[in-house]
């Protein structure tokens, strides 16, 4: 990561991003066994990496004309970036239109993540969507760092450095990111949205593009439940971790191009939160949807979510 100063002496954040093409490349050990590696300095595996790599492993075992449309995963144990992950694929069903795969991700014999993925042969059908999205074009928006006042840029520098260095995603916010308001002690509705894309071009393989979206889909999602409480994920005593994660891909699209990711934290209670997301292309077409439940436990005397 390169750190420099601007003309006013403020710190500029120029991180070295993880090599996403390497993250999304698996080594085949056996016909149903694959090995994936991390490429960050963070000690803990980013959840989206496990989702993306597991989807790749599953996708390598289905015919080329099948596309993933439904992904359901459970995070069981934290993953260690210093240890390769072995993905064990189980062929559950091979039908005329659909293929189903189970994938177990293990480290040192411990299952850290498991995923069920369904693939479908391309076909035409009735089509509609009930949701709409409108936002300024991403090119008209500043980089996140440039949208912040100087004093807030300094406050955000530490978590931004960590995020930029460990997750290979570009993002721009059409509105103020609620985390910034929460850091000021203000509350906001449980909604947030960002234009997102991978930080590098990924080629034309549909499976790689789908896995890249699976990788991105975990970004920010669970934190959308926090704005009403006026706290950020850095709140002392807050435990935040994904428990289960679902992705539906409604059509093929390129994850390395800008898409609008709208997120809403629809419920919180009992130390858990539930969030949903919708991904739109520039024309407002809904191309993917997500749901995630996660641990949001605040261990702080006298204060509870």
Q: Is 292 a catalytic residue?
A: yes
Q: Is 224 a catalytic residue?
A: no
Q: Is 7 a catalytic residue?
A: no
Query: What stretches of 143-224 adopt beta strand conformation (E)?
Result: 169-172, 191-198
Helix pair 47-59, 206-216: axis angle to 10 deg: 160
Q: Which of 218, 223, 224, 256 is catalytic?
A: 218
Label the pairing between strands 85-94 and 33-36.
Answer: antiparallel
User: Which residue from 283, 258, 257 is spatially nearest to 132, judged by alpha carbons?
Assistant: 283
Q: Which of 107, 114, 242, 263 is catalytic?
A: 242
Q: Using the 8-state DSSP alphabet, how is residue 147 labeled?
A: G
Residue 120 and residue 117: Cα distance in Å, rounded?
Answer: 10
Residue 275 pairs with which residues in a beta bridge? 265, 292
Q: Which of 49, 192, 217, 292 is catalytic?
A: 292
Q: Which residues have C-beta within 8 Å of that of residue 6, sequence separation ≥ 6?
A: 12
CA 91 to chain centre: 26
User: Which residue from 67, 32, 36 is spatially nearest to 51, judged by alpha carbons?
Assistant: 36
State the catalytic residues.
218, 242, 292
């Amino acid at each position: 990561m390169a750190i420099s100063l601007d003309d006013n002496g403020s710190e500029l954040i120029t991180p070295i991003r993880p090599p996403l093409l390497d993250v999304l490349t698996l080594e085949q050990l056996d016909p149903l066994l694959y090995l994936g590696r991390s490429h960050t300095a963070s000690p803990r595996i980013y959840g989206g990496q496990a989702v993306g790599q597991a989807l790749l492993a599953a996708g390598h075992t289905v015919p080329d004309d099948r596309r993933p449309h439904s992904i359901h995963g459970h995070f069981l144990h934290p993953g260690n970036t210093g240890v390769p992950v072995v993905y064990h694929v189980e062929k559950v069903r091979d039908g005329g239109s659909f293929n189903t795969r189970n994938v177990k991700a293990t480290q040192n014999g411990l299952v850290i993540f498991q995923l069920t993925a369904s693939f479908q042969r391309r076909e035409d059908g009735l089509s509609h969507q009930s949701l709409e999205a409108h936002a300024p074009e991403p090119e008209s928006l500043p980089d996140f760092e440039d949208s912040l006042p100087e004093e807030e840029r300094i406050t955000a520098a530490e978590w931004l450095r960590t995020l930029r260095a460990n997750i290979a995603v570009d993002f721009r916010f059409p509105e103020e990111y609620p985390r910034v308001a929460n850091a000021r002690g203000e509350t906001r509705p449980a909604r947030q949205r960002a234009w997102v894309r991978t930080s590098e071009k990924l080629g034309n393989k549909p499976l790689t593009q789908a896995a890249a979206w699976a990788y991105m889909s975990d970004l920010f999602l669970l934190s959308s439940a926090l704005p009403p409480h006026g706290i950020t994920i850095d709140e002392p005593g807050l435990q935040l971790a994904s428990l289960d994660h679902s992705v539906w891909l409604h059509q093929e699209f390129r994850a390395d191009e800008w898409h609008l990711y709208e997120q809403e934290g629809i419920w919180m209670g009992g130390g858990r939160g539930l969030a949903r997301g919708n991904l739109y292309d520039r024309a407002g077409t809904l191309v993917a949807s997500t749901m995630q439940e996660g641990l949001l436990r605040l261990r702080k005397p006298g204060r509870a979510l």
